[in-house]
Amino acid sequence: MARKAARHPVPARRADAERNIVAILEAGTRLLSCDPGAGVADIAKAAGVGRVTLYAHFPSREELVDAVLNHAVGMADAVLEDESIDTAPAPEAMTGLLRTSWEVLDRHRRLFLAADQVLPTERIREHHRRPLRRVERLIARGQRDGDFRTDLPLAWLVTAFFAIVHSAAQEREAGRLEPEEVERVLVTTMLSLLSPPA
């Protein structure tokens, strides 16, 4: 009885709320990836919900951008799922990971700029914890196999990876790095940084 009573109308409202949230996050990802300055009203419109509904779920632009970033990184992380990261020689796997990360990041580049404008770098880094764990696992394997240097701490090498990829996205957006140059620059930079000292 209690169970049945609980199914109406709360679950229906909850299902509506979930549908609205998903629609808002998808619209937010789409719009902010085109224009980092996209407004909350435009995102509500594209999601097919009212501004009041949007604000009920995300009381500030900052909270909305934070949630959209989380959504986008979650999708991106799924794309990075590739078993060769654990099987190919570490330098080769790193090259592959950089290419894939870059493609995903390039698609959402403007969203990261939007995030960078309202969220501290530390918070943006937290959102990347899952994909960064893949990077960490790969660098640790390269260190064990003797392919990557061990004279610098693992955590620092992961941080450098994040900083370098993040900078490349900003340089590309600012027009200081040619789109066709980015992949080579990223791979060359990271492999120089990871190689054992001569």
Q: Contact positions toward its own copies, by CB under 8 A? A: 113, 116-117, 120-122, 149, 151-153, 155-156, 159-160, 162-164, 166-167, 170-171, 174, 176-177, 181, 185, 188-189, 192-193, 195, 197-198
Spell out the alpha helix ranges (H) of the chain. Answer: 2-7, 10-34, 40-47, 51-57, 61-80, 90-107, 109-118, 121-127, 129-145, 154-173, 179-194
CA nearest 138: which of 187, 107, 94, 183? 94
Tell me whether residue 4 or residue 192 sits nearer to its own copies (CB atom). 192
Q: How far is the CB of 116 from its own copies (least distance, A)?
A: 5
Minimal distance, residue 19 CB to its own copies, in Å: 33
Q: In the complex with its own copies, which residue's Cβ is closer, 100 or 189?
A: 189
Distances (CA, A) of 177 to 75, 139, 140: 26, 26, 30
Whose Cβ is closer to its own copies: residue 40's or residue 177's? 177
Query: 20 vs 102, which CB is nearer to its own copies?
Result: 102
